[in-house]
Amino acid sequence: MSICIAAAIVLGIMGIFSAKYRRWAKEAFSCVGRRLTLRPCESSFNQRVKAKVSGKLMNRSPGGARFVNKHFEAISWVFTIILFASLALTALTVYNLAVYGTCDPVNPDQCLIGTEPTCGGGENCQPCQCDGLTCESPDYIACGGDCSCKKDVCEGS
């Protein structure tokens, strides 16, 4: 069942951009719908995905293919949990960007995306750390519009 859920999401997105995956996405959604209503999948979607993955691995690593074939259900549950955890973290990041203007409101300097840095007076950045040295309001233009201190600006500190 877990592979049906993960495949429905992933193949549904891939099916938007490529007709190659639409048939598989349709089968995955059908499988999820049937499993949610406590009925077995008609298309044996799980078995087809298991055979496809094991077959691809067989050429490279017969031992790996045997392992995947034997533990396919557990592996698919792990990937399903990872999928939902990454979706939750992505949603949290988007929320933080929308509300706080940074992906990490606790440590906004750690976020690589977000709004423009806050600079005092519009010309000088607020004091910041530069490899352990404190820069006293480095020139905003010399920083290239970036408030993170650069060594060439901080060299006198």
Spell out the SS3 assignment of the chain: CHHHHHHHHHHHHHHHHCHHHHHHHHHHHHHHHHHHCCCCCCCCHHHHHHHHHHHHHHHHCHHHHHHHHHCHHHHHHHHHHHHHHHHHHHHHHHHHHHHHCECCCCCHHHCCCECCCCEECCCEECCEEECCEEECCCECCCCCCCCCCCHHHHCCC
pTM > 0.75: no
What pLDDT does residue 121 have? 44
Task: Name the more confident of 54 and 141.
Answer: 54
pLDDT value of residue 43: 64
Task: Express each pLDDT in 9-47 by its tens digit.
Answer: 899 999 999 998 999 899 889 888 888 888 877 767 888
CA distances from 146 to 115, 131, 150 (A): 11, 16, 9
Least confident of 1-5, 9-13, 143-147: 143-147
Q: For residue 48, what pLDDT band results from cuts at 50, 70 and 90? A: confident
pLDDT in tens, 87-143: 999 999 899 888 888 887 888 777 777 555 444 444 445 455 454 544 554 454 455
For the chain, what are the domain ranges?
Answer: 2-100, 116-154
Mean pLDDT to the nearest integer, 43-54 = 84
